[in-house]
Chains A and B, each alone.
Chain A
Amino acid sequence: MAASSKKWVLGVIVLAVLVPLLQPVFPDVVSNYRLFLISTMIIAAIAVLGLNLLTGFNGQFSLGHGAFYAVGAYTAAILMDKLNVPYWATIPAAAIVCFIVGYLFGLPALKLEGHYLALATFALALAVPQILKYKWLEGLTGGVQGIVLMKPEVPFGLPLSEDQWLYYFCLLVMIVLFWGAANMLNSRSGRAMMAIRDQYMAADTMGIDTALYKTVTFGISAAYTGIAGALSACAIAFVAPDSFGIFLSIKFLIGLVVGGIGSLFGSVLGGIFYVLVDNSAQSLTQFIRNDLGLPFDLSAYTVFGVLLIAIIYLMPMGIAGGLYMAYRKLRGARA
């Protein structure tokens, strides 16, 4: 990473740490609800990063990352609910469980390419809610009702509200995970991952153990998304099967495509983006009904769908890629 972008990242982190401290100064702008919303964006960014590691950096498709998010969320919820494990300890546990699940799913995925892998993961995404409702798992998963949890408590008697603490916790996890991902991608292993994406045959010939790298990448990717799932279980304090359907996976895909395929920064943008659209759909509907007088209930997914197609046409590298191109143009560098 270049020195200038390191400065940028540090600056953003410092800003992010300062945000909750502004709450007493601007109580209306930095409300608890807004902080919670930013926490959700952070969680989304981690989930999108997980998908990006697989698709953007390793070239394997997944339309079913919601499944790993669900496994992470349920691992965390069951540990907290049944074994009284503290919430922070469920994060590494979810990572390990999801790594194993992802690695195992990566094995059959080795035989699948392109459309077929997309098809298999799409099938997985469709089946997830049913698997979670499976009768034998009901004792653990709580069946259709799901599991109700407690919100994380503020530790060490820190003078923070619950939402503020949640925000810092998510931020910390995100910084660690993005730092880890950046370092991994910058290493020999990361280059191997990308070599497999760009030229599978050549990578194989050069002696890269493509099968190992692909399955391990699947595992790591699942672990990242699983951690996001565990965080969401902590944040929302509730898990239920029907919140992990196909549309969750579609949201991750939105984050990936809109933010930028193969860009760490893009994952953050993508996460922020899909949470924003998801949350403003309601006011958009009200605007359409009341101000335009049209009898539609415009859902976020119409926006998502149109954007997905539009981005493929106009900005195939997503917002991050578009910004980068604009930056280079401004600097007058040769593209």
Chain B
Amino acid sequence: MEQFLQQIASGLANGAIYACVALALVMIYVSTDHINFAQGEMAMFSAYISWQLMDWGMSFWVAFILTVLISFAMGVLIERLILRPLHNAPVLSIIVVFIGLLAIFNSMAGAFWSYLIKEFPSPFPKADFGIAGVIGPHQLGVVLVTLIVLGLLFVFFRYTPLGLAMRAAAQNPQMARLVGVRVDWMLALGWGLAASVGAVAGIMVAHIVYLEPNMMGGILLYAFASALVGGISNPAGAVAGGFIVGILENMVAYAGNQIEKATGIYIIGNGEKLTVALIIVIFVLTVKPAGLFGRVVVKRV
């Protein structure tokens, strides 16, 4: 039983990370209809930036906040400089640009900081809590930080004029433009926010998976699965999807483990995590493309 609870707890912690990356993906998807294949590598690059800042002697949280700001600027710049001119380009061009960004971020991280695995510190105390043995301090911290970030985003989008303008720009660009919202800049801000949320995920996960240029590959795949499960057009759904997929991932591995213990037959385990994500992605895409909470898109022919 304790093992089962442990699996749920670590699923929640992973889920928090997936939720962040999925939310970043959805924020860009909702406003521009693009799926950002470079989201994971951007988050990885942000994690490296914060590592570098700490290496220069900053404390964790100072580096954290600086990194989030730098990532915001990075996101805005990418949107303004690279994607804006391709406003009306065909889908393939956009995908190719994203793959190009992925390759650039990945190889630049390797070039600046080498491909050697780096330890990444955790800001949370080592001491055990009351629920010791079930959830570790870092896992609990990750969930808390994620919830705070999500709460801040919710407040921003729900209760501030700028948040309202951004939602308007995403939902109905023409109308928004008519009432004086600068839609172009809203998209760029959306990109910046997405990059910041991704940065939080990158920094939080770097302690768990260790810092290296390819660390986000699997996480990005799970974030895709989360966004799809929750409905790629629904930010709240993406967050829920993140937690669902995070728990599901650990449950599948746990069940596989139990089956192997009981029958001695290996079916599925930790080595198949990406395959599970692939199956989720293809299953949701073909069977229920709107996901659990997404809007069903009806196309007029």
Hey, which bits of chain A sit against chain B, CB under 8 A?
55, 61, 63, 108, 111-112, 114-116, 118-120, 122-124, 126-127, 130-131, 133-136, 201, 246-247, 250, 253, 257, 261, 296-302, 304-309, 311-313, 316
Contacts and interface: CB of A to CB of B under 8 A. Distances in A.
A124 B104 CA distance: 21
B104 A306 contact: yes
Contacts of A118: 35, 37, 91, 95
A61 B275 contact: no
10 contacts: A119-B224, A298-B111, A301-B103, A301-B106, A301-B107, A304-B100, A308-B103, A309-B82, A309-B96, A309-B97
Interface in B57-115: 82, 85-86, 89, 91-93, 95-97, 99-108, 110-112, 114
Given A116-B285, A119-B285, A124 B96 contact: no
Contacts of B86: 312-313
Contact of A120 (B33, B275, B285): B285
Shortest beta-carbon contacts, A-B, top 6: A308-B100, A305-B103, A305-B104, A301-B107, A127-B278, A299-B107
Contacts of B274: 126-127, 130
Contacts of B106: 301
A69 B65 CA distance: 43
A133 B96 CA distance: 29
Contacts of A116: 285, 289
Interface string B277-290: 11001100110010
Interface residues of B, number: 49
A309 B101 CA distance: 8
Contacts of A301: 103-104, 106-107
Contact of A63 (B91, B95, B281, B285): B95
Contact of A61 (B92, B112, B266, B269): B92
Contact of B278 (A55, A63, A124, A135): A124
Interface in B29-47: 33-35, 37
**Dominant SS at the B interface?**
helix
Contacts of A122: 37, 224
B118 interface: no
A134 B270 CA distance: 11
Interface of B: 33-35, 37, 82, 85-86, 89, 91-93, 95-97, 99-108, 110-112, 114, 217-218, 220-221, 224-225, 266, 269, 271-275, 277-278, 281-282, 285-286, 289, 301
A131 B275 contact: yes
A150 to B, nearest CB: 30
A157 B263 CA distance: 55
Contacts of A307: 100
A136 B260 CA distance: 13
Contacts of A306: 100, 104
B281 A313 contact: no
A281 B217 CA distance: 23
Given A130-B274, A299-B110, A308-B99, A313 B217 contact: no
Nearest to B86: A312
B109 to A, nearest CB: 10
Contact of B275 (A127, A253, A305): A127
Contact of B103 (A120, A127, A302): A302
A305 B277 contact: no
